[in-house]
A and B are shown apart, each in its own frame.
Chain A
Amino acid sequence: MFISNQRHLRQLALLLATLSPLALISSSVAEEGKTLYMTYCSACHAPDGKGANDGAFPPLANSPWLNGKPDRSIQIVLHGLQGEIAVPTDKDPNKTYNLVMPPQGGSLTDPQIVAILNYVRNSWGNKNKAIALNDVAKNRRTTGARTTMWQADELLKKHPIEANTPPPIKGLISKVYHGSWKTRPDFSKLKPEATYEEHKGLISIANAGNLKSFGMVWEGQLPIAKKGNYTFTLDSDDGSAVYLDGKLVAEVKGLGGMGRAKSGKTKLSKGLHDIRVEYFEFSGQEAITLAMQGPGIKSHLQLSAVKPNIKKGPRWPSIPIDPPVNGTAFYRGFIDGSTPRSIGVGYHGGINLAFSADNLNIELLWQERFYDGGHHWTGRGQGNEPPAGKNTVKLTSMPVWGTLDSATAAWQAADQGETKRRFRGYQLGENDRPTFNYEVGSLKVSDVSTPEFDTKGITRTITIDAPGSGAPKNLHLMICNGLDIKAADSANTYLLGNNMQVEISSNSSVPALVRSKELILPLQLKAGENQITLRYQWK
């Protein structure tokens, strides 16, 4: 009996050893994890876990994404992750990345994933419980059908990063008041309808339930580890105030939505301090956030259940592209507002255009700064970037050569046979100004613009070479679509929306047709050279 108990005890001890947190990843398994990590992961996350290329890729060391419950890490390994993700680093607590981690679930086996995660979750300052084969298998079962990579927000909804522990505010209680106020009431004169313990130690309006208009007061004790100046940042919908040791530190006054954040500073000694937060909601949406910054706090400490919208730095650095003096700048990338094959042209002097090689038209005109390359020239550069300047006018958003069967018929874009569109490139002339060349069926077109700095606009000359056999019948040119069109006082001049006008002169067309948000020029081309001049001016 005694012996048998001994044996049981020994078995129990063994069992405990295998379950106990850190231990107990045997050195050979850790070694295997390291080898696998070096083979498959270190190119991006770096051998020291700090992110390759001096942190240009996300670190794993001290990453809140990796530490805590293992499911979040397992899911990222299994299915990958793409898009913007905030990962605090030693240098920048508000650092964000916008890259792609490809899914590894198809190429790594469960034991490999276990080995890698146990290595990274217990290296470079990370300390976590060992995960087991079953943790990975369970995750594979629950998301086995998934074929897309995670986005950070979506993953956080399922596997949130564990809240600050211990609770940031000790002994926090909340009181709920019924009533309707347009300014913060004197709560000392009101009677609460209910009182709650807030075990998480976070300011939360969850206990107000479905109330439409109400007030809440929270009281607790805020532990301060280091003496110094602390900043409290409060934001709310509607009003709120935060007191430390009875002294008002920050107040969001009156009615209004989030985004009216107020900050206040106060000196605090080491130890516990009384904190009191008052809040009222009049109507519509409701929310409150509170955060503190100060000595020894990395970035900020969240004191509310809802994450404060602490201002992030720019998502990418600014890399301005400016035309050289008396020259022209070009940008071929994904210019927002035009098509993927658009060509940005910045004339020195602050007039710019985007020519779409897909739709064969100047689709955008804008003034002042030409373009910023920071978006496309950082990381992988996904997404469109709008022009950098101002007064942008979008002239058209469709292929502009086409046919109309009648004045009321739908627009038919030229795209095949006799009217197939073909972009042919561009030649640079004086001051590197481009002449765009393209074909519409048998028509050969050249298209050149000259900026007019005095009158703020451009003069654009479209020269159409039609073959002897004549041009396709019924051909039209869409001058503008999508803006309100009005005839201006002077002849052949039209107002395009609020701040642009165009004057049309041509020996090869009849007067333009004004339809609902469309300005269309019916062409009457003769064999040989035809010319259309369009003078665009900002008003």
Chain B
Amino acid sequence: MRSLLLSLALISPLFAAPTQEEFYLREEIPLPKGEVMEIGSIALMPDKKVAVTTRRGDLWICEGAYGKDLSKVKWSVAHRGLHEPLGMFYQDGSLFLTQRPEVSKLTDTNNDGKIDSFETICADWGINGDYHEYAFGSTPDKDGNVWVVLCLTGSFNANSPWRGWCVRITPEGEMIPTCSGIRSPGGIGFNAAGDTFYTDNQGVWNGSSSLKWLKPGTFQGNPTGNIFYPDQTAIEPLKNQPKDGSRITTERERIPKFIPPAVVLPHGKVGQSPTAIIHDQTGGKFGPFANQVFVGEQTHSEVQRVFLEKVNGIYQGAVIKYLSGFEAGIIPMRLSDDGTLFIGGSNRGWASRGSKPFTFERVRSTGKTPFEILEMRAKPDGFELTFTDAVDPASIKPDSFSMAAWTYIYQSKYGSPEVDQATPVIKSATVSPDGKSARLIVDSLVKGHVHHLISNGVRSSKGSELWHKDAYYTLNEIPD
């Protein structure tokens, strides 16, 4: 009987694998002809205008990016000659930019479409001419502060002041050193609760790339920038320096300020260079993932989806692949309240699967809900999954799932292999009365490990398999 069902499933055309096109419409937005538009930041403006900056330092305004007929978009250049902006937002008639050397306020005071006022808000961090000393800036937090993450010199050293730190820039231009421990960020943003996260790339002291929570005062893991603790007074220096070749879980015991990556984005498996961070504030206009976090991925030209929860006071959660097929490496993203996701990108200097040198695209929901794992929550004895649609109860059984777990060496070497492999066993799987969630009892959860759940056998009540079957949960804490 079972083999009969299996062979039926194999030959049946009814249950073709879900594809992105069913759920999301991805469109390229035409760019001005002859221009090199390596987009590094995007800002949403009033009247459905969209501002973008390029890595070359141009600022362009796009009209029609929300329109039905994208062939009608109009572009105008507002300025040329900025310093590699990687963060921009609009506020009260001005564009605020995080440029490589400073946070600045740009204004078109005479409304002729050109910026004529460039006000330096804060330039208190160091740059020394090294191309890798990037600065990524956020939109304002609830207090109006811009959060800026400062890449290490050459991504290895702290040769200029505040390299390897996150700083906050107040509206008055004061710089507040906030967290040490940064290596090479790719983006910064907030979750729905207003907490700040950044992406850090695989490299020294980063076994894998990850999404990290910038809780003020915490240490993010790379000790290179710790030399600047004495230059500020608000945060006490670490009493213990991290041990090379250890594990994050072990080092957290020795260094209470050490906050582990909220969600590891397993290197190679999920991506190679995470970038922008946004969350879905649209309340359902962009699919069923309200309030979840989306992370850009430069190398794989993708967008990943992150579910976050707080356990024992710190964030952790799962990453699941989401959107793919973008034309270049994704750098910035912005999601408008109407459910239009804008992404921009480039692959100059860092290759990407999308093979165009640069791109500007938008994505909208088709209105059809994909069958997906919506949430994956840690439980003392396993996980709880919720789905975007009711499941076929018969498909919720241990056989439908498998799990692997591993962690990374926490070391001064570049990256880490997957180590300390474990194979947690799914003992039971039960479906909830409403059919929309499943409870997995798992033997031998491992604190600190990435738990890779593969849900090959799960079917919706309509017979659909999951659009994405792999979820990677970073179990920093096992709930009591």
Q: What string of 1s and 0s marks CB contacts (under 8 Å) between B258-287 and chain A?
A: 000000000111001000000000000000
Chain A residues with CB under 8 Å of B415's CB are 102-104, 106-107
Q: Cβ of B117 and Cβ of A427 under 8 Å apart? A: yes
CA–CA, A102 and B201, complex, Å: 11
Across the interface, do B118 and A104 meet the contact criterion of CB distance under 8 Å?
no
Q: Does B127 touch A at the CB level, under 8 Å?
A: yes
Interface membership of A425, Cβ < 8 A? yes
B interface list, Cβ under 8 A from A: 36, 55-57, 79-84, 99-102, 104-105, 114-120, 123, 127-132, 202-204, 207, 267-269, 272, 299-300, 347-353, 355, 357, 409, 411-417
Q: Is the interface of A mostly helix, strand, loop or mixed?
A: loop
* Contact of B413 (CB < 8 Å), options: A103, A109, A112, A432: A103
With A330-B81, A357-B101 in contact, is A425–B117 under 8 Å at CB?
yes
When distances are taken between beta carbons in the complex, the residues of chain A under 8 Å from B115 are 428
Contact residues, A377-423 vs B (CB, 8 A): 377-384, 423
Residues of A228-270 contacting chain B, CB below 8 A = none
| Chain B residues within an 8 Å CB radius of A102 | 203, 414-415
Q: Which residues of B contact A185 (CB under 8 A)?
A: none
Shortest Cβ distance from B327 into chain A, in angstroms? Answer: 11
Say yes or no: A384 contacts B120, CB within 8 Å.
no
Q: A334–B347 contact, CB under 8 A?
A: no
Docked complex Cα distance between A263 and B99 (Å): 50
A53 to B129, CA, bound (A): 28
Given A377-B36, A380-B132, A425-B118, 8 further pairs, Cβ under 8 A: A102-B415, A331-B57, A332-B57, A382-B130, A382-B132, A423-B123, A424-B119, A424-B120
Select which of B119, B202, B413 is within 8 A of A105 by beta carbon.
Answer: B413
Cβ contacts A to B, 30 pairs, < 8 Å: A40-B272, A54-B355, A80-B414, A102-B415, A103-B414, A106-B204, A106-B409, A106-B411, A106-B414, A107-B414, A107-B417, A108-B417, A109-B417, A112-B417, A333-B84, A334-B129, A334-B131, A341-B101, A344-B81, A357-B120, A357-B123, A381-B131, A382-B130, A383-B129, A384-B129, A423-B102, A425-B104, A425-B118, A426-B118, A428-B118
- A57 in contact (CB, < 8 A): yes
In the assembled complex, the Cα of A57 lies from the Cα of B417 at a distance in Å of 25
Residue in A147, A330, A379 whose CB lies within 8 Å of B348: A379
Kindly identify which residue among A39, A53, A382, A383 contacts B351, using a CB–CB cutoff of 8 Å: A53
Residue-wise interface mask of A (82-106) relative to B, using a CB-CB cutoff of 8 A (1 in contact, 0 not): 0000000000000000010011111
Bound Cα distance A39, B202 (Å): 14
| Contact call B116/A427, Cβ cutoff below 8 A | yes
In angstroms, how far is the closest chain B Cβ from the Cβ of A539?
30
Q: Are A43 and B413 in contact (CB under 8 A)?
A: no
Q: Does A44 contact B (CB under 8 A)?
A: yes
Indicate whether A467 reaches chain B with its CB closer than 8 angstroms: no
Contacts of A357 in B (CB 8 A): 101, 120, 123
Most buried by B among A334, A378, A383: A334
Kindly state the separation between the CA atoms of A99 and B79 in the bound complex, as whole angstroms: 29
Question: Contacts A102-B203, A427-B118; is A53 near B347 (CB within 8 Å)?
Answer: yes
Whether, in the assembled complex, A340 has its beta carbon less than 8 Å from a beta carbon of chain B, the answer is: yes
- Taking CB atoms, residues of chain B closer than 8 Å to A377 are 36, 55-56, 348
Give A57's nearest chain B residue, CB to CB: B351
| A-B interface, 7 closest residue pairs, ranked by CB to CB distance from nearest | A330-B81, A107-B415, A106-B413, A332-B83, A380-B349, A52-B351, A44-B351
Question: Residues 324-350 of chain A: 1 if any B CB is under 8 Å from the residue's CB, otherwise 0?
Answer: 000001111110000011011000000
* A297 CB-CB contact with B under 8 Å: no
The complex places the Cα of A373 from the Cα of B57 at a distance, in Å, of 11
Give the residue of B102, B204, B353 whose beta carbon is less than 8 angstroms from that of A43: B353
Contacts of A190 in B (CB 8 A): none
User: CA separation between A109 and B415, bound complex, in Å?
Assistant: 11
Q: For A379, what are the chain B residues with a Cβ–Cβ distance below 8 Å?
A: 348-349
Q: For A333, what are the chain B residues with a Cβ–Cβ distance below 8 Å?
A: 57, 83-84
Residues of B within 8 A of A332 (CB): 57, 81-83, 99-101
Q: How far is the CA of A107 from the CA of B415 in the complex (A)?
A: 5
Within A350-381, the residues touching B (CB, 8 Å) are 357, 373, 376-381
Please indicate the chain A residues that have their CB under 8 angstroms from the CB of B129 in the complex: 334, 340, 383-384
A39 and B84 CA atoms in complex are apart in Å by 30
Tell me which residues across on chain A come within 8 A of B81, comparing CB atoms: 329-332, 343-344
- Least distance between B129 CB and chain A CB atoms (Å): 5
Residues of chain A from 425 to 461 with CB closer than 8 A to chain B in the complex? 425-428, 432
Contacts of B414 in A (CB 8 A): 80, 102-107
Inter-chain contacts of B127 with A (CB < 8 A): 340-341
Check: A56 CB closer than 8 A to any chain B CB.
yes
Most A CB within 10 A of own CB, among B55, B268, B269, B412? B268
Complex contact B349–A107 (CB within 8 A): no
Name which of B79, B104, B347, B416 has the most chain A CB atoms within 10 A of its CB: B347
Report Cα–Cα, A424/B105, bound state, in Å. Answer: 10
Contact of A56 among B80, B116, B204, B351 (CB under 8 A): B351
Q: Taking CB as reference atom, which chain A residue is nearest B416?
A: A107
Alpha-carbon distance A535/B74, docked complex (angstroms): 43
Closest chain A residue to B298, Cβ basis: A43
B123–A43 touching, CB < 8 Å: no
Query: 1/0 contact trace for A476-493 toward B, CB 8 Å?
Result: 000000000000000000
Residues of B contacting A330 in the complex (Cβ-Cβ under 8 angstroms): 79-81
Which of B116, B129, B409 is packed against the most chain A CB atoms within 10 Å? B129
In the bound complex, what is the Cα–Cα distance between A424 and B117 (angstroms)?
11
Smallest CB–CB gap between A443 and chain B, Å? Answer: 16
Given the contacts A53-B347, A373-B56, A106 and B416 also touching, CB distance less than 8 Å:
yes
Complex contacts, A373 vs chain B, CB 8 Å: 56
Interchain CA distance A496-B123 in the complex, whole Å:
31
Cβ contact within 8 Å between A43 and B117: no
Question: For residue B412, which residues in chain A have a CB less than 8 angstroms away from its CB?
Answer: 147
Interface pair A107/B83, CB less than 8 Å apart: no
Q: How far is the CB of A252 from chain B (nearest CB, A)?
A: 40
Q: Are B123 and A341 in contact (CB under 8 A)?
A: yes
Give the interface centre of A340, A344, A377, A426 by most chain B CB atoms within 10 Å: A340
Would you call A99 and B349 a contact (CB within 8 A)?
yes
In the assembled complex, how far is the CB of residue A426 from the closest CB belonging to chain B, in whole angstroms? 5
How far is A401 from B202 in the complex, measured between Cα atoms in Å?
43
Interface residues in A43-88 (C-beta closer than 8 Å to B): 43-44, 52-54, 56-57, 80
Among residues of A, the one whose C-beta sits closest to the C-beta of B120 is: A425
Q: Which residues of A contact B83 (CB under 8 A)?
A: 332-333
B residues near A432, Cβ cutoff 8 Å: 114, 116
Complex contacts, A381 vs chain B, CB 8 Å:
131, 349
**Highest count of chain A CB atoms <10 Å: which of B118, B269, B357, B411:** B118
A428 near B202 (CB under 8 angstroms)? no
> When the two chains form their complex, are residues A380 and B131 in contact, meaning their CB atoms are under 8 A apart?
yes
Cβ contacts under 8 Å, B409 to chain A:
106
Q: In whole angstroms, what is the CA distance A147 to B352 when docked?
A: 27
Q: What's the Cα separation between A482 and B394 when bound, in Å? A: 83
A386 to chain B, nearest CB (A): 13
Closest CB in chain B relative to A355 CB, distance in Å: 12
Q: Is B80 a contact of A329 with CB atoms below 8 Å?
A: yes
User: How close is A238's CB to chain B, nearest CB, in angstroms?
Assistant: 41
Using Cβ atoms and an 8 Å threshold, which residues of chain B touch A43? 272, 299-300, 351-353
Q: Which residue of B lies closest to A381 (CB)?
A: B131
Write out the residue numbers on chain B whose beta carbons fall within 8 Å of the beta carbon of A40. 268, 272
- Output the nearest chain A residue to B409 by Cβ-Cβ distance: A106
Q: How far is A99 from B131 in the complex, measured between Cα atoms in Å?
A: 12
Cβ contact within 8 Å between B120 and A423? yes
- CB A52 to nearest CB in B, in angstroms, measures 4
**Nearest-CB residue, chain A, relative to B128:** A340
Contacts of B350 in A (CB 8 A): 380
Of B99, B115, B127, B411, most buried by chain A (CB within 10 Å of CB) is: B127
For window 27-47 of A, CB contacts with B under 8 Å fall at 39-40, 43-44
Contacts of A382 in B (CB 8 A): 130-132
Question: Given the complex of chains A and B, what is the CA–CA distance between A331 and B131 in angstroms?
Answer: 15
Residues of A within 8 A of B56 (CB): 373, 377
Q: How far is the CA of A341 from the CA of B55 in the complex (A)?
A: 16
